[in-house]
Amino acid sequence: MYIALIGVPLLGALIAFAFPSQAHRPKVLPITAALHFLLTLLAIADLDHAAKGVYLELDGFGSVVLAVISSLFFVCALYAPVYLAQREDRPNRAFVACLLLFLSMNTAVVLAQHLGLLWVAVEATTLAAAPLIYFNRNARSIEATWKYLVIGSVGIALALLGSLFLAYSVFMERRETSLLFDVLLANPDGFSPPWLRAAFVFLVVGYGTKMGLAPMHTWKPDAYGEAPGIVGALLAGGTASSAFLALMRVYRVVDAGGQGPFARSVLVFLGMASLAVAAVFLVRQRDLKRMLAYSSVEHMGLLVLGIGLGGVGTYGSILHIANSGLTKGVLFLSAANLNRAFGSRNVQTVRGAFRRAPVSAALFLAGFFSATGSPPFGPFVSELAIVRAAFGGGHLVVGALLLALLAITFMGMATTVLAAVQGEPATSPVDAPQTYRDTFFSTAPIMACLLVVLMLGLAIPEPVAAVLARATAQIEGAP
């Protein structure tokens, strides 16, 4: 099953690359995505009875992340054929193949149970995403691609150094080293504390760079701004989620080794720093995609902040993986529709979207309310849990700052979003590169994504609640 989860999208990538017809090649995406989603559901349903793997295994926390990645990719794959049909000026062979390779490598990150294999899989996601960012093939996109590669490579190099430090912390105590997570967790006394702390610092910077935590976030605004909306959604909801999982794998080892308080203080600091940076840059932000990039920085900050606070905050962070990932799908795909409708992503041009593309504008507005933690959407529940963890755990200053930064974020995004959707269009449709109209296939996948986020805010189904509870117990240290 685990080999199939990685192999199906990899096979799909090979088929797409060899497929001769540019017009029909994008159809490989929804077919492969549907198979992967089905395999994901089967793997999660069989979690208690599946054979225990050595290097590849799906556990409770991994099942949450894999479900988010697979479902988000499925939504993007349903949207992709319509998008690529309107971009006939660009060859899509490498784009379609790299999208499927991206899914395969993110799946490998989730399943990897060896520290070295995890590092290799994370690096592979970087290489798979680079051609996707360069899809538009202009000066800005190549600059964004190089920035993504350079900063990401520095981050992954630091993660490699942190992995070596972790291995050395084991070697110092035991004189024998295994980098399997089960073995590391089974020997909590076999670590050198100074080396373990150093390892966590390097690993949190390395994998935090992939997540886009501040101050390692500097690649995000350019990459999200220049990449197609599909790619932005997958980076924000897919790569960020798998990088968070990689960081949590390491966090569990550090916590088991007796350095949990140190690790949690680092996570709280980075979480608050990310929230502060996002709030500052979201005020008077004029570019819709860069706004979404800084919103992603904010949500990554919330993820690590919840883990750092512990307790109900851990549950809030795990639930927020799903809420944030699917909300980013709504925002990026609807923003892509508005971009095509107006030929721009700047609010000086994107005005009166309700008149030009009413369905996409409504979805974008709903996505904004979801991303800012407004009821009745799912992020309200997960963010409320993190706020409760701050005040309930006696972190009154952190809680007060958190509420203040969330309020600033709401007001900053509201200014940009309302300016885009209200009023009269600033240009006529003929001024845009192509006339765009909302269609069923360009909006239905986004609606489906939004409905799931709404469901998570109103009533979490029992099977989903059980998966979330299992993942929370795992991060909190239960066997």
The one-digit pLDDT tens for each residue of the chain (479 residues) are: 889 999 999 999 999 999 988 889 999 999 999 999 999 999 999 887 666 768 999 999 999 999 999 999 999 999 999 999 988 888 899 999 999 999 999 999 999 999 999 999 999 999 999 999 999 889 999 999 999 999 999 999 999 999 999 999 988 766 667 889 998 988 878 888 999 999 999 999 999 999 999 999 999 999 999 999 999 999 999 999 999 999 999 999 999 999 999 999 999 999 999 999 999 999 989 999 999 999 999 999 999 999 999 999 999 999 999 999 999 999 999 999 999 999 888 988 899 999 999 999 999 999 999 999 999 999 999 999 999 999 999 999 999 999 999 999 999 999 999 999 998 886 554 444 456 788 999 999 999 999 999 999 999 999 999 999 999 999 987 54
Residue bearing tokens 């701050």: 390
Compute the distance between CA of residue 2 and CA of residue 50 in angstroms, rounded to an integer.
10
Quick one: pLDDT at residue 48? 75
Of 447, 433, 444, the closest CA to residue 87 belongs to: 433
Quick one: pLDDT at residue 175? 62
Domains held by the chain: number? 1
Compute the distance between CA of residue 393 and CA of residue 295 in angstroms, rounded to an integer.
26
Helix, strand, coil percentages, rounded to 5, for the chain: 80, 0, 20
Using N-to-C axis directions, what is the helix angle for 60-85 and 28-45, rounded to 10°? 170
The pair of three-digit structure tokens given for residue 54, joined into one six-digit string: 């050595």
Compute the distance between CA of residue 280 and CA of residue 282 in angstroms, rounded to an integer.
6
Quick one: pLDDT at residue 276? 97
pTM of the model: 0.95
Neighbours of 462 (CB within 10 A): 8
Compute the distance between CA of residue 473 and CA of residue 162 in angstroms, rounded to an integer.
26
Contacts of 101 (CB under 8 A, 6+ apart): 9, 10, 13, 128
Neighbours of 474 (CB within 10 A): 20
Neighbours of 88 (CB within 10 A): 10
Phi/psi of residue 145, each to 5°? Answer: -65, -45
If DSSP codes are grouped into helix, strand and coil, which group holds residue 177? coil
Compute the distance between CA of residue 83 and CA of residue 473 in angstroms, rounded to an integer.
41
Compute the distance between CA of residue 217 and CA of residue 112 in angstroms, rounded to an integer.
25
If DSSP codes are grouped into helix, strand and coil, which group holds residue 55? coil
Phi/psi of residue 346, each to 5°? Answer: -95, 135
Q: What is the DSSP secondary-structure string of 389-437?
A: HHHHTT-HHHHHHHHHHHHHHHHHHHHHHHHHHSS--SS-GGGSSS---
Q: Quick check: bond before 215 cis, omega within 30?
A: yes
Q: What is the DSSP secondary-structure string of 327-386?
A: HHHHHHHHHHHHHHHHT--BTTT---HHHHSHHHHHHHHHHHHHHTT-TTSHHHHHHHHH
Contacts of 48 (CB under 8 A, 6+ apart): none
**Residues spanned by the domain of 87:** 2-475
Which residues, listed in sequence order, are joined to residue 114 by a DSSP beta bridge?
A: 180
Quick one: pLDDT at residue 430? 46
Of 306, 326, 271, the closest CA to residue 475 belongs to: 306
Compute the distance between CA of residue 211 and CA of residue 299 in angstroms, rounded to an integer.
10
